[in-house]
Amino acid sequence: MKSAIATLLAAVTSLSAVAADEVNIYSYRQPFLIQPILDDFTKQTGIKTNVVFAKKGLIERVKREGKHGRADLVLTSNFSAMIQLEEMGLTNAIESDKIDKNIPASFRDPDGHWVALTKRVRNVYSSKDRAGKLTSLSYEELANPKYKGKICTRSGKHPYNLGLVASMIAHHGEAETKTWLQGVKANLARKPQGNDRAQVKAVKEGLCDLALGNSYYFGKMLEDNKQRAWADAVYINFPNQSDRGSHLNVSGVVMTKYSKNKENALKLIEFMTDNKAQNMYASMNMEYPVKPGVELSKLVASWGTFKEDSLPLSEISKYRPMALKLIDEVKFDL
């Protein structure tokens, strides 16, 4: 009886028990960037890739699907998501000499549960006309009353801002960070809204003089005919160069605990840490590759070198829940 039902089910569903030569991906990162990399991977290895692209909820989906889930990899756009997956016990150790060789230890989980693929900096953009280049600016200074009504940012709850707030807590503690957040909120030119690009646009239009944003947006805007004028109106500044260095965030990848195609998944991760894919990240999305020696895009290189905050990401991510709580407490977004 049971076997009859099993045969029947197997016949009517296209899901076969033994997967073909493929790998299934949940991606928080966008199609325009990931699809070319995947296509290239398929061309080289013959392994088919299936993707679900989404901006939200993939972690939750992996959790719900449990051991019968079909995702082998999750591509994330920030470190919190990877560490969250790891903490939920949904990840698998990634063991590969090749990956260990490609990626410096500080950008891998010590136990191999996540691997960073690209770096991005949380920059402060300043209006060329009204603020000038701010070489000695720090994140702390954004709370200084002299900037009242002059700062723009996206929602405080966005992972990029949460990461920054978490790093502030890691360096200064909860109470001081709360005071800092209140100060920044008091300096906002408008309610947090839009994405990082929209902030630069607002600076160009004169709504604000300073804006927080990730580094790669700047490069992408300079490449877009319509948006070049926005980017041309601002300087890109790397904060805290005289002390701990600028806050870094990373995009990365984890292998799911219940992956059915571990070998293929590993091949794909290796591929993503290697020259070809790292180059694509650098040239197509203006990000900082994690693999040493991979060339930056010319444009990104022209911004010069900068000092990175060396506090480990796993340390910073501990404070993410607290960061979220503080954002709510000071009603940052309201």
Does position 325 bind other proteins by CB under 8 A? yes
Does residue number 182 form part of the binding site for other proteins (CB under 8 A)? no
20 is a contact residue toward other proteins (CB under 8 A): no
Residue 128 in contact with other proteins, rule: CB under 8 A: no
Which residues lie closer than 8 Å to 71 by C-beta, 6 or more apart? 24, 25, 26, 52, 58, 61, 62, 65, 256, 259
Which x/- pattern over 26-55 shows residues binding other proteins (rule: CB under 8 A)?
Answer: ----xx------------------xxxxxx
Q: Which of 117, 137, 165, 202 forms a contact with other proteins (CB under 8 A)? A: 202
Q: Minimum CB separation from other proteins for residue 74, in Å?
A: 13
List of residues 6+ apart from 243 with CB closer than 8 A: 138
> Is residue 84 near other proteins by the rule CB under 8 A?
yes
Contact flag: residue 66 with other proteins (CB under 8 A): yes
Q: Is 217 labelled as part of a ligand binding site?
A: yes
Distance CA 136, CA 243 (A): 10
Strands 73-76 and 234-237: unpaired
Q: Which of 232, 195, 228 is nearest to 211 (CA)?
A: 195
Q: Over the range 176-211, which residues count as b (16 or more CB within 10 Å of their CB) and which as e?
A: ebbebbbbbbebbbeebeeebbebbbbbbeeebbbb
314 is a site residue for other proteins (CB under 8 A): no
Query: Is 216 one of the annotated binding-site residues?
Result: yes
For position 179 contacting other proteins by CB under 8 A, the verdict is no
Number of residues that bind other proteins (CB under 8 A): 56
Near other proteins by CB under 8 A: residue from 42, 45, 65, 98: 65
163 lies in the site for other proteins, by CB under 8 A: no
Instruction: Give me the least distance between CB of 45 and other proteins, in Å please.
Output: 18
Binding residue (CB under 8 A) for other proteins from 42, 96, 155, 279? 155
Residue 257 binds other proteins (CB under 8 A)? no
Residues sharing a CB contact under 8 Å with residue 120, sequence separation 6 or more, in sequence order: 214, 215, 216, 248, 249, 250, 251, 287, 288
Q: Is 320 helix (H, G, I), strand (E, B) or coil?
A: helix
Helices and strands: H and E segment counts in the chain? 15, 10
Amino acid at 170: A
> Which residues here bind other proteins, judged by CB under 8 A?
2-3, 5-7, 9-10, 13, 15, 17, 24, 30-31, 50-57, 59-61, 64-70, 84, 155, 157, 162, 191-195, 197-198, 201-202, 204-207, 321, 324-325, 328-329, 331, 333-334
